[in-house]
Amino acid sequence: MKNILLFIILLISIKMISQPTISFTFDDGITEDRCEYSFKDWNAMLLGHLEKANIKTIFFVTGKNKIDENGKFLLNSWNEK
């Protein structure tokens, strides 16, 4: 029984590892308006699309533009997801 359980765990592990993956990183983020969208709307659309597609992301921050109100909003919105 123990060997069967180990074999099943091994099969599950191999299946999980063999799935293709793509990595997205978002470096620092924007805190100004883009195209015809406000920065907050643009950020909400981006996070909404990522969440809808069940895509996990990593957000790297240098902190240079995150000390004002928009920067704090950006950090908080990504942290909540």
Q: Is pTM beyond 0.85 here? A: no
Kindly give the parts of the chain with pLDDT less than 50.
none
pLDDT at 31: 85
8 located within any domain? no
37 located within any domain? yes
How many domains are contained in the chain?
1
pLDDT at 8: 65
Contacts of 64 (CB under 8 A, 6+ apart): 28
Domain range spanning residue 56? 22-80
Instruction: Record the tokens describing residue 72, joined without a space.
Output: 């704090």
3 located within any domain? no
Instruction: Record the tokens describing residue 51, joined without a space.
Output: 């969440």
Angstrom distance (rounded) from CA 74 to CA 71: 5
13 located within any domain? no
pLDDT at 56: 78
pLDDT at 60: 74
